[in-house]
Structure 1
Amino acid sequence: MTPRPASVGRRFDAPPRTRAGPGVIARAETGAFLIWTLALVGISGGLLWALGLNYDGISGSAPSKIHPATYLAVALFGWVMLRAGNPVIPVANALTRRPASVLLAVCGVLLLVLIAAQGGTGLAGSIDTFVLAGLVPILLMDRDVATLGRLETVYHLVMLANALLGLFEAVSGQRFFPFRFDGIAFETDTRSAALQGHPLANATMTACYILALAKGGGRLAPPLRAGMIALQLVALVTFGGRSATVTTLVLGSGVGLSALNRTLRSGRIPLAGAACACFALTLLPLAMAALAAIGFFDTLLSRFVSDGGSAQARVDMLAIFDAIPFRQLLFGPDVLQVSTLRRIYGLEWGIENSIISDIFYHGVLVTAVLVLAVGLYLTEVARSCRPGVWLPILAFAILVNTFEGLAGKTTMLAKFALMLIVLFPPGRRAPRS
């Protein structure tokens, strides 16, 4: 009997099972992007200090001053160039399809050169703040819908853990990963830090996340979306951001009233939605009483009654303009002079406005270029997403100028861009609320 050929019964175009095919590489690449997202959204300077790295301080090795997500982003971009075979192709694609992102990354590198030439400190700030943010849309511009969906799931889980940890810190009085400068935490600052590090940065990201969910961002079902918004609103109070709380309530109320108006004008109210609304209204008095019993509203009101001198600090920072000639402000004042004036006016905690802080340290011209680059960058990200992104962008633009924000070393802009891209992908319709 003639033996059967080995090729019979198997597709001729099927790859050998013993060889790693493209599917293995694709899964490994997706896993790398998931790890990168987890590192970007979930690792703060306080967590890095707990792991033995002095990220937010001055002392320590230079490599520890750059965020792990930045290293991973550079490695992923290197892998993209390696996989393309010709490194010119990914660079040309980035210049063609994401020019504003490339511009922001280049501005970050040039800012690093400028700071080094002036003999200033905080070189890593320009890398984490601007270069990392510029790489986010470039890395994600060719990701498929399934990969973006997995990244969205990671983002939701991290924000859920962040809110729960913030609430636990508020109840227990223990902060696990507070913001530390050279290992020293501000003991008088009792606000929750959770996973995002600085309380105001945490409040900013939480507020933008709430508004993104309110505008239909993400794939969460309506009950999960409503529950997540409620949880994040409660956690927002523990982070102590008064501006974030007011901005969220004002803009969120506008979204809610607009949705209610559309529903009433349509003349068709879903029975399930009406039942959920009645159930929520029934539970609302009980929830308010429970929050009042644990002192939740006392914490909220205390932030508005006593701001710890924050409002006065915003007035004092304007007085520094009178002490510096306009010519120096135009091209960049002396860093030592600015530091001295900060101590004189009691602004050791920082200049609580991103643009004004950049003017004092880099000058009007450099600040104008940075503001233009960030504006073009956010416009480019918004155009690559489906409708609904402009409300969280508006909130972000307001809130980053209520504290040092983008003027210091932060991954906040990169996290915000990632949130917009994964919650508002262009190929997916907004879910019905």
Structure 2
Amino acid sequence: MGSRPASIGHRFDAPPRAGTGVLARAETVAFLLWTLALVGVSGGLLWALGLNYDGISGSAPSKIHPATYMAVALFGWVMLRAGNPVIPVAKALTRRPASVLLAVCGVLLLVLIAARGGTGLAGSIDTFVLAGLVPILLMDRDDAMLGRLETVFHLVMLANALLGLYEAVSGQRLFPFRFDGAAFETDTRSAALQGHPLANATMTACYILALAKGGGRLAPPLRAGMIALQLVALVTFGGRSATVTTLVLGSGVGLVALNRTLRSGRIPLAGAACACFALTLVPLAVAALAEIGFFDTLLSRFVSDGGSAQARVDMLAIFDAIPLRQLMFGPDLLQVSTLRRIYGLEWGIENSIISDVFYHGVLVTAVLVLAVGLYLTEVARTCRRGVWLPILAFVILVNTFEGLAGKTTMLAKFALMLIVLFPPGRRAPRS
């Protein structure tokens, strides 16, 4: 009798194609570069590279952030890799409907702005479309990929804090916020890698609270050191609201953790030793900060606000000059610009929702607020526990300045931070 074929009773898997590993590595590198561009490239940095991102003059393609182009290209690659473009789209509609809704709202807002003859078309793309693409692009990434993206995020925030401290000490701003190349010379706040100082303060505050709630994989000593560094850098960015919000919410987290530890009756010996050692360094740290003028900078932010409080009062007075019907469906853009100049609000209307009401009307603003709320809820549900504290801080802080009403990648960066620091399959590290 002849021998039985080797295929019977045995399973021979086809060897992987030679290009599969290369494509996987190329895709990983592309996502890492995209994360680096999204988190670490600001309008000031783009100006240094020859692109007028934040201004009016210049070519239209330069008004859209490079991370947005990369996100669109990555989504196109996902559709191409799937073989059938309908599959990724259907998956996004099924698993990330709020993200799709936010992206669609961004496109519709662009059409509305163009139909009314307004400016800032790219703002709707970078603010909402890019943010909508972030959860869609990351929904099928494995833990290894998210871990690499988390590492990039930590490194950029570390570099951002160090650069902010350098700018505060040296008095030199490397990549300040510029409008058509003109920097505000009277604004001495550090800009670092996040562009606008208040956007920088918002991201830093949310990052601190995310670390305090156990986000990421940093070991306890590294986590404590990073939180301390970010707290010091937060002052240089000049966000009073961010500083107060971080201290209030962060103190609450610390008190709850301390109470839980004391009630358990078990205090790790190593932890107690580290705490005692850290307490001995506090006087030295305070003296060093006082020597470099840290506390003078901190107090100056609260003593002199540069008219910020008065600007918040003046923006409410604009409501009296606009008829209710126009407020509902969109005020006249020329009238809004004139009123801003009259009340000295050329730097912006310091509230995201009120600014959107003045430029797009109550109805459009209500849709955008609903879309952003559903979006943040969806992102939170895809993450493990601990995300609601940074989300609360984010909602508070984006309404203390123009925030999401202007062109910004802040919402996209915030969603990326939550997804990579709080992946659902990873347990929170022990503090």
Please give the TM-score of this superposition, normalised by the length of structure 1: 0.97
- Give the number of aligned pairs: 431
Structure 1 residues 3, 231: closer, same or farther in 2, change over 3 A?
Answer: farther
Write the deviation string for residues 276-298 of structure 1: whole angstroms up to 9, x where unpaired. Answer: 11011110011111111111000
| Aligned pair partner of 1:300 in 293, 298, 301 | 298
- TM-superposed CA distance for 1:69, in Å, is 0.2
Corresponding position of 2:35:
37
Write the deviation string for residues 260-291 of structure 1: whole angstroms up to 9, x where unpaired. Answer: 00000000001111011101111001111111
Q: Could you tell me how far apart the structure 2 residues matched to 1:312 and 1:38 are?
A: 37
Q: Could you tell me how far apart the structure 2 residues matched to 1:232 and 1:124 are?
A: 31
Q: Could you tell me how far apart the structure 1 residues matched to 2:100 and 2:79 are?
A: 15
Q: Could you tell me how far apart the structure 2 residues matched to 1:8 and 1:86 are?
A: 34
Q: Could you tell me how far apart the structure 2 residues matched to 1:342 and 1:170 are?
A: 31
Write the deviation string for residues 176-195 of structure 1: whole angstroms up to 9, x where unpaired. Answer: 00000000000000000000
- TM-superposed CA distance for 1:27, in Å, is 1.1
Write the deviation string for residues 374-401 of structure 1: whole angstroms up to 9, x where unpaired. Answer: 0000000000000000000000000000
- TM-superposed CA distance for 1:57, in Å, is 0.2
Write the deviation string for residues 215-271 of structure 1: whole angstroms up to 9, x where unpaired. Answer: 000000000000000000000000000000000000000000000000000000011
Write the deviation string for residues 408-429 of structure 1: whole angstroms up to 9, x where unpaired. Answer: 0000000000000000000000
Secondary structure at the residue paired with 1:274?
A: helix
Give structure 1 stretches of 5+ with no counterpart: none
Write the deviation string for residues 113-138 of structure 1: whole angstroms up to 9, x where unpaired. Answer: 00000000000000000000000000
Q: Which ranges of 4 or more aligned residues in structure 1 deviate by more than 6 Å?
A: 1-12
- TM-superposed CA distance for 1:11, in Å, is 11
Structure 1 residues 91, 2: closer, same or farther in 2, change over 3 A?
Answer: closer
Give structure 2 stretches of 5+ with no counterpart: none
Q: Could you tell me how far apart the structure 1 residues matched to 2:328 and 2:199 are?
A: 29
**Which has the larger displacement, 120-129 or 24-33?**
24-33
| Aligned pair partner of 1:284 in 282, 288, 295 | 282
Q: Could you tell me how far apart the structure 2 residues matched to 1:2 and 1:302 are?
A: 93
Write the deviation string for residues 67-107 of structure 1: whole angstroms up to 9, x where unpaired. Answer: 00000000000000000000000000000000000000000
The answer to whether the 8 A contact 1:128-1:411 is kept is yes
Q: Could you tell me how far apart the structure 2 residues matched to 1:243 and 1:212 are?
A: 17
Q: What is the identity percentage for the equivalent residue pairs of Structure 1 and Structure 2?
A: 93
| Aligned pair partner of 1:379 in 377, 380, 392 | 377
Secondary structure at the residue paired with 2:14?
A: coil
Q: Could you tell me how far apart the structure 1 residues matched to 2:2 and 2:306 are?
A: 92
The answer to whether the 8 A contact 1:15-1:21 is kept is no
Structure 1 residues 10, 228: closer, same or farther in 2, change over 3 A?
Answer: farther
Q: Could you tell me how far apart the structure 2 residues matched to 1:14 and 1:283 are?
A: 61
Corresponding position of 1:424:
422
Corresponding position of 2:391:
393
What value does the CA root-mean-square deviation take over the aligned residues? 2.6
Structure 1 residues 8, 286: closer, same or farther in 2, change over 3 A?
Answer: farther
The answer to whether the 8 A contact 1:129-1:413 is kept is yes
- TM-superposed CA distance for 1:21, in Å, is 3.5
Q: Could you tell me how far apart the structure 1 residues matched to 2:373 and 2:4 are?
A: 68
- TM-superposed CA distance for 1:20, in Å, is 2.5
The answer to whether the 8 A contact 1:207-1:245 is kept is yes
Q: Could you tell me how far apart the structure 2 residues matched to 1:10 and 1:290 are?
A: 71
